[in-house]
Amino acid sequence: MPAVDVVDETFLAVPPPVVKAAFADRRAWRGFWPDLTLEVYLDRGDEGLRWTVQGALTGSMEVWLEPMLDGTLLHYFLRADLPRPAQPRQIQREINRRQRAAKSIALDLKTVLEDGRRPGCPP
């Protein structure tokens, strides 16, 4: 079982292809995850991406884009280990940091991609 196991879900009132485009841009990855090196191992089209992760963590990461109502439920998964053995307190700090970062990425995308759109209103 990986030391760092982060799961997050956020609703975005935009269709899955719009969210996918934000994650498909390799240049954006450095902004989202500056201390990680990613390699796509599965492109699921409008359903998302899966990556192998190296750098500050080693493991896998996924964004799964589930169509829901008039938008997308963005599921985020990060399962990885620290490069060196760590104390439980250090691991918990890393988990908390990654949880906050995941929600920050999702909420920033929500703000940019929705561009003021309210749920239920046409895009």
27-59 pLDDT tens trace: 999 999 999 999 999 999 999 999 999 999 999
**Domain boundaries defined on the chain:** 4-113
User: 1 pLDDT band (50/70/90 cuts)?
Assistant: confident
pLDDT of residue 55: 97
4-113 has CATH 3.30.530.20 classification: yes
Report whether pLDDT(123) > 80.
no
| pLDDT tens track for 59-72 | 999 999 999 988 99
What one-character-per-residue DSSP string does 39-107 give?
Answer: EEEEE-GGGEEEEEEEESSEEEEEEEEEEETTEEEEEEEEEEE-SS---HHHHHHHHHHHHHHHHHHHH
